[in-house]
Amino acid sequence: MKTLIYTNTGLTSWQIGINTEVIEKLNDGSRDLMVVHCNNILSNCFFNQTHNPIGCALCQSRQNHLLSIAGIKKTQIVVLQNVLKDKKIELPFFNHLDELIDYNFASHNIGRGVASSIISYTRNFSIDSHHFKELIKIEMKKSINVLMYFQQVIEEFGPKEIYLFNGRFSEVWPVTLLAKENGIDFYCIEAGSPNKYELFKNALPHSISNRHRMIMDRWNTAAPADRDKKAKLWFERRRNRSNTEEKQYTNLQSTGKLPESFDQSKTNIVIFNSSEDEFKALKESISDLYSSQNEAIETIVAHFRKDPQIQFHLRVHPNLSSVKNQQLEEIQEMSFPNLNIIPPKDVVDTYALMNVADKVISFGSSTGIEATYWGAPSILLGTAFFQYLDVVYHPDSYEELYSMIKHPALSPKTKENTYPYGYYMSTYGTTPESFVGKGLKQSFYKGRKIRIFYPGFFKYLFKYLSSVLLWIRIQRALHKKIRLNTLKRFK
């Protein structure tokens, strides 16, 4: 079977280690393997957003070294080509994010991947040609080049399956489109539960319907006693801040602390928002009720502003603590007498809020299902991997939501329904056999330490220095100025 692998993630030790492990397992003698490297052809990527030539040299040298350890032959490796060269591409002026998301090139919806990348770079979702014209042009041209190159590769090589990392960014999204168009199975490589990786077949890791299927498949094939125990442990470790393998956003919060103005005599509705950037451009994650979380929050709070008995508390997601974007700026400008805003760095305890909340409203973060586990009536306004598990109320209209908020005895959903999610989150994925990931300086592949620098680095750096003008151009497009410290940024 012919297998095509597109690998452009050699900067972080985790991604290069997992990618190499997957490639080595595929190289089992039953496949005709083709591995495509970037070789500095991409104008940038999610992992090297400004085309830092040092980062490119590190990426290429590290990938080649690990693939040689994994037994991949040079004849199996090809490099991405610049098929566009200096060809001029006429792009429309994008007045709004939706126009960018909907943009098609030669009937391929590459605009969605471009939007997803720029939103992730900037942590902003107000993306248009008024503010990001040059960056959109750079991302779009890169995406078109990837599309046209892989059209040729698919036609000439004829793969039956394709492997790539993540899938939603502009430099990989076109490959998923081509796979679907040509009826080719594709697999997105991503992190799994702690210290594992997962392969998502014919779907992005962000697909809600696919995740639900995977959650239930894993739950239904597990031993009942074991799965209940692990599910409960996942929820309890998150609350106790003892789940050190997963990213914790509550470690700096003060256990049991509530807002000083908290009045238990009122009906207290706690709202847990989410960072909008990762899922903003993904079709399955779009809500029919609102265009942004802030719009929904203001609509709800304004509706009840004349009811002195109902008090809202917005716990701003700690993930927004280091961000300055439209979402946070709009929150800071909110001013309602019935809304208490808890900033992202505030030490108020998320789980203490769950305990005292009459109802919890969430937009997709795990707090929605965690609230149900801990006995609070939980309402989901956004989309989430757990939305089909009957663990949250999911209103179809504001009128239905208002009725839920005012309901004096809205009961929590069944706690046991949360178990499949907890079990899945603590177990899904495959444990690496050859790769041991412990950060930048303590990761190993087949017992050999993964180094930052290999001898090939200097050869690639000398070759890539000619692209320094592109680095300057992207710096200006992304940051509006030159930041020399980005030359030292790599993982």
Residue 480 DSSP class: S
Bridge partners (DSSP) of residue 302 are none
Mean of the pLDDT values across residues 227-238?
96
Confidence (pLDDT) at 85: 82
Least Cα distance to 281 among 99, 44, 93, 47 occurs for 99
With cut-offs at 50, 70 and 90, classify the pLDDT of residue 246.
Answer: low
Q: 3-state DSSP call for residue 464? A: helix
Instruction: Evaluate if residue 491 carries a pLDDT over 50.
Output: no
Closest alpha carbon to 249 in 198, 166, 322, 174: 322
What pTM, to 2 d.p., does this model score?
A: 0.93
Mode of pairing for the β-strands spanning 161-165 and 185-191: parallel
In the predicted model, what is the mean pLDDT of residues 39-47?
Answer: 93
**247, pLDDT greater than 70:** no
Radius of gyration (Cα) for the chain, nearest Å? 24
Tell me which of 9-18, 226-235, 413-422, 442-451 is least confident: 9-18
Mean pLDDT of 271-285: 82
Q: Give dist(CA 283, CA 240) in Å, integer.
A: 34
Q: CA-to-CA distance for 469 and 191, rounded, in angstroms? A: 34
Beta bridge partners of 268: 311
pLDDT at 321: 78
Structure tokens at 491: 């993982």
The pLDDT-based confidence of 357 (bands split at 50, 70, 90) is very high
Please report the pLDDT score of residue 278 as a whole number: 67
CA distance 129 to 363: 28
The CATH class given to the 2-192+430-488 domain equals: alpha beta
d(CA 282, CA 210): 14
Across the range 241-254, mean pLDDT stands at: 71
pLDDT of residue 430: 96
Q: How confident is the model over 303-325, as a mean pLDDT?
A: 91
Window from 14-28, 77-91, 314-328 with minimum mean pLDDT: 314-328
105 φ, ψ (degrees, to nearest 5): -115, 120
Pick from 35-39, 84-88, 183-187, 286-290: least confident = 84-88
Q: Yes or no: say if 129 and 136 are a contact pair by the CB < 8 Å rule.
A: yes
Mean pLDDT calculated for residue range 384-410: 96
The larger pLDDT score, comparing residue 326 to residue 443, is at 443
What's the pLDDT band for 487 if we cut at 50, 70, 90? low
Among 456, 432, 466, CA closest to 198 = 432
Sign of the torsion angle spanned by Cα atoms 377, 383, 389, 390:
positive
Q: What is the mean pLDDT of residues 69-88?
A: 92
So what's the pLDDT on residue 489? 62
CB 8, CB 40: distance < 8 Å: no
Three-state DSSP state, 26: helix
For residue 436, pLDDT over 70 is answered with: yes
**How many CA atoms within 13 Å lie on the side-chain side of 185?**
9
Using the predicted structure, report yes or no on whether residue 163 has a pLDDT greater than 50.
Answer: yes
Mean pLDDT of the region 392-406: 97
Q: Taking the CA of residue 60 as centre, how many other CA atoms within 13 Å lie in the half-sphere pointing to its CB?
A: 26
C-alpha separations of 98 from 19, 251, 326, 414 in Å: 33, 36, 16, 38
Residue 76: what pLDDT? 97
CA–CA separation, 339 and 258 (whole Å): 15
Examine the pLDDT at 415 and tell me if it is beyond 90.
yes
Q: Distance (Å, rounded) from C-alpha 154 to C-alpha 16?
A: 24
Mean pLDDT, the chain, rounded, equals 93
Percent of the chain whose predicted confidence (pLDDT) is above 90: 80
- Superfamily of 226-427 according to CATH: Glycogen Phosphorylase B; (3.40.50.2000)
- Determine which of 182-191, 235-244, 431-440 has the lowest per-residue pLDDT on average: 235-244
CA distance 283 to 287: 9
Residue 143 banded pLDDT, cuts 50, 70, 90: very high
Looking at the chain, which residues constitute the CATH 3.40.50.2000 domain(s)? 226-427
Q: How far apart are CA 84 and CA 88, in angstroms?
A: 8
